[in-house]
Amino acid sequence: MTQSIFDKFQYYANLREDVARLDTNPFNVVVEQVLSETEAIVNGRRTILAGTNNYLGLTFDPRCIAAGRKALEEEGTGTTGSRMANGTYAGHLALERELADFFGLPSSIVFSTGYIANLGILSTIPGPSDVVLLDADSHASIYDGCRLGSAEVIRFRHNDPGDLDKRLKRLGTKAESALIVVEGIYSMIGDQAPLQEIVEVKRRHGAYLLVDEAHSLGVLGEHGRGLVEQAGVQEDVDFIVGTFSKSLGAIGGFCVSKWKELENVRYAMRPYIFTASSSPSIIASTRVALHILREQGAELRKRLWDNAHRLYLGLRELDFKLGPESSPVVAITLGESKEQALEIWHDLLDKGVYVNLVMPPASPGAGCLLRCSLSSAHSAVQIDAIIDAFRSLRNNILES
């Protein structure tokens, strides 16, 4: 039989067949009309969006929109160039200064996405003689950054500082230049890293630590700086990576650091150099969103956490298998049957609730996940409607 270059995608061909039985493909949902931060028309029906990462509900903030519109009119639709060539506008530098100021750190670099931020930092800072120790549940961008780089990569058990300690011990003196990578809130299950314990291990071995606060910026900490702030360990953290695509309601990424030397790395990072910089309108709306986070973040955070507790407790009462703690990311673990997971996901959509369907290998275990993520813009009525939709499918979920 002749070989096709597409033979290796048979798994996805089978998945497409499964999905074709449904009238909506969960991996190709079309938002036909956006109605608000929390609602859209999907499949011709008004649907509650319970799977976005719009944590502070800023996507429709009139101040962000006005700033974006002004920049669009005054600076055009795109920079059409890399940060290193003609793509650094005054706004990019201002946002870098504002991020550094927000975190109280000297160094800051803005990237075109959070994915690219991880690619840039992790492929460049740890070199061929260094080791990166990754939490096993790390986001794809963290794994991909390491793959693009040349350091040795070692995984440690998810949220297990003892396992991290053991692996660092085995490295001997190499532990002193090793880079540990964890996330503030893990994107799939919504659990937090045990950061104080991880810092204690890091200190003992003299290693470096990077925390990806993609899901925790604006969500954790007295000022919304993330888990690093909440855990009170800022002095022990070497790099914080984050995104503009979640609590700041736009698109883009950043890295801030206590190390002034970060500036020397800027022009060595291929994912920084070889892609176009963010559009001026994106930078402008992000700057305003960061300002709102500083001024009104506490109020938005309170609403977000009220919603998170309401959903978590409501779903726990239904005996679903949830993550270990209440969080703006609430995931229900189903069984391993992809067909059943697809059906349940589809039934939820039929009832007017969109959540993320996550299947292995994207889910951390062997089971499929129904991942909900909340916004401060959700009302209590919407949260109750989400719980009601899950309640009506309780038996199917428990039996899956």
Binding site for ligand PMP (CB under 6 A): 113-115, 118, 139, 141, 183, 187, 212, 214-215, 243, 245, 253
Q: Which is nearer to ligand PMP, 282 or 353 (CB)?
A: 282
Using Cβ positions, the residue closest to ligand PMP within the complex turns out to be 114
Nearest distance in Å: CB 343, ligand PMP: 26
Element (H, E) at 111: strand 107-111
CB nearer to ligand PMP: give 247 or 400.
Answer: 247
Dist CA 283 CA 276 (whole Å): 13
Closer CB to ligand PMP, 91 or 253, in the complex: 253
The position carrying tokens 């290693």 is 207
Is the preceding peptide bond at 361 cis, omega within 30 degrees of 0? yes
The DSSP-derived string for 155-181 is EE-TT-HHHHHHHHHHTGGGGGG-EEE
- How far is CA 147 from its chain centroid? 19
Which residue number, 142 or 389, has a Cβ lying nearer to ligand PMP? Answer: 142
- Tell me whether residue 96 or residue 212 sits nearer to ligand PMP (CB atom): 212
Minimum distance from residue 139 beta carbon to ligand PMP (Å): 4
Least distance from ligand PMP to the Cβ atom of residue 186, Å: 7
- Residue 240 C-beta: closest distance to ligand PMP, Å: 12
Please identify, using beta-carbon distances, which residue of 254 and 390 lies nearer to ligand PMP. Answer: 254
Q: What is the DSSP letter of 278?
A: P
Q: Are 256 and 110 in contact (CB under 8 A)?
A: no
Distance between CA 255 and CA 113 in Å, rounded?
A: 11
Q: Least distance (Å) from ligand PMP to the CB of residue 253?
A: 5
- Beta-bridge mates of residue 108: 256
In the complex, least distance from residue 118 CB atom to ligand PMP, rounded to whole angstroms: 6
Question: What amino acid occupies position 312?
Answer: Y
